[in-house]
Structure 1
Amino acid sequence: MTAMDDLLARDAVPKGYKVAIFDGEVIMTPRSPEQFWTVSEVQAAARAAHIPRERLLGDVLVRFPGENEAAPDLTIVADGAARHGNSYDCLDVLAVVEVPSRPDDEKDYVRNVRKYGRFGIDCYLIADPFKQVCTVMTESHATGYAKVEEVPYGEPVTLRLVTGERVEIDTSDFPVRT
């Protein structure tokens, strides 16, 4: 049993909070309305692109061999991805979307970039309500991503999955924080 499994089994996570164990550190942050609304918009765009709901996971545990698991704000998994209890394996992840809960969030901008890239998650989107910018990273490699594109809120963003699927996201209604 992992530390996260233990927390969940004991129902030790307060309602309205997201808990992650990252590099041995327990990070507990309240979910913001901006996070919820942004994830909802991306999820709606994915559904409009005919990605079935069974492949769209919000705050669901993803296991990384030899490392702490993660529960991204939104995860798109491959068709036929195997469920392991309440988690999925990182090898089945096609894309991850994160919405930072604070400005210049090191977890999303540094640690997750390295981790997701190292484990071959080919598409990583950070939708930042503080900077009002979407950062789309593709072409994963051992230390991160080879291609990084910044798109200001209000401009369309396209997630191109390795399966050939395309998710067109209208960011004009993405909420902002100051």
Structure 2
Amino acid sequence: MTVMAERPTMSGTTESQSFEELLQTLDALVVPDGSKAEIIKGNIVVSPWSKGYYLDVMELVCEQLRPHLPEEHRISYGPFLYVFPGAERAFGPDIHAGHRSVSRHASTHLDGEALSFVAELTSSSTRDTDLSDKVEVYGRAGIPVYLILDMQEEQATVLWTPSVKGYESRVTRPFGERLLIPAPFDCLLDTAGFKAP
């Protein structure tokens, strides 16, 4: 299995495990508090704690989008695992929105295709995956809006019009500007305050 920290380290392999076996291994894995484990390209990847100010950014995004949520939807941040069986991936997006029914069961594996919005805040250990693999997986799953907050480049990218190739539409703005979040939200996101203190 691959365990990823700020500097990736290898501690075995999962090449012979099926996606279902990887999910079982992930469920049995003891992950340090504040870290999350995901399945990315056939490996279990553990990401480290986020920087403190990321919490402020996540709360700002949720506060701004909450009034524009589709009916019966909720937006939150935190360690929830969304599964994409067709892509053999399982992600724990930094911010996620979906219909309330998504979480009304006892499983720890939530339906990724039921999401209406995801956002990822990049870190040095997750940036490449956030900008590439997740773009393709989230788009193919039909998630209407994917927001990438590139904390290293201090810019926000919104992607929409999901397709089999990922997303067909995208706009990038530097932190400090307003960014249109398309349907089903149709609102402006103010990115002032997203920069590192």
TM-score, with normalisation over the residues of structure 1? Answer: 0.84
Alpha-carbon contact 2:26-2:44 (below 8 Å) kept: no
- What is the SS of the residue equivalent to 2:96? strand
The correspondence for 1:147, drawn from 169, 176, 185, is: 169
Among 91, 104, 111, the residue aligned to 1:83: 104
CA deviations 1:146-177 (Å, max 9, x no partner) are 11100110111232233xx3343221111338
Q: Distance in 2 between matches of 1:151 and 1:126?
A: 11
Q: How far apart, CA to CA, are the structure 1 residues paired with 2:127 and 2:44?
A: 15
8 Å Cα contact 1:35/1:101 also seen in 2 = no
Distance change (3 Å), C-alpha of 1:54 and 1:122: closer
Q: 2-side partners of 1:24 and 1:118: how far apart?
A: 18
Q: Structure 1 unaligned runs (5+)?
A: none
- 3-state SS, counterpart of residue 13 of structure 1: coil
Is the 8 Å Cα contact of residues 47 and 126 (structure 2) preserved in structure 1? no
Match of 1:93 among 89, 98, 115: 115
- Give yes or no for the alignment of 1:118 onto 2:118: no
Q: Which amino acid aligns with 1:75?
A: H
Residue 42 to residue 27, structure 1, CA distance change in 2 (3 Å): same
What CA distance in whole angstroms lies between the structure 2 residues aligned with 1:88 and 1:21? 14
How far does the alpha carbon of each residue in 1:78-112 deviate from its partner, in whole angstroms, 9 at most, with x for none?
Answer: 35445342342122111110001118821000100
Instruction: Indicate how the Cα distance of structure 1 residues 125 and 9 shifts in structure 2: closer, same or farther if over 3 A, else same.
Output: same
Counterpart Cα distance in 2 of 1:53 and 1:14 = 33
Identity of aligned residues (%): 26
The one-letter amino acid paired with 1:73 is: D
Question: 2:181 maps to what in 1?
Answer: 159
RMSD in angstroms over aligned alpha carbons?
2.6
Question: In structure 1, what is the equivalent of residue 4 of structure 2?
Answer: none
Matching of residue 33 in structure 1 with residue 55 in structure 2 = no
Q: How many correspondences in the alignment?
A: 174
Q: Which has the higher contact order (CA 8 A, sep 6+)?
A: 1
In structure 2, the CA distance between the partners of 1:156 and 1:18, relative to structure 1 (3 Å rule), is same
1:138 corresponds in structure 2 to 160
The letter of the residue matching 2:127 is: D
CA contact (8 A) 2:73 2:97 kept: no
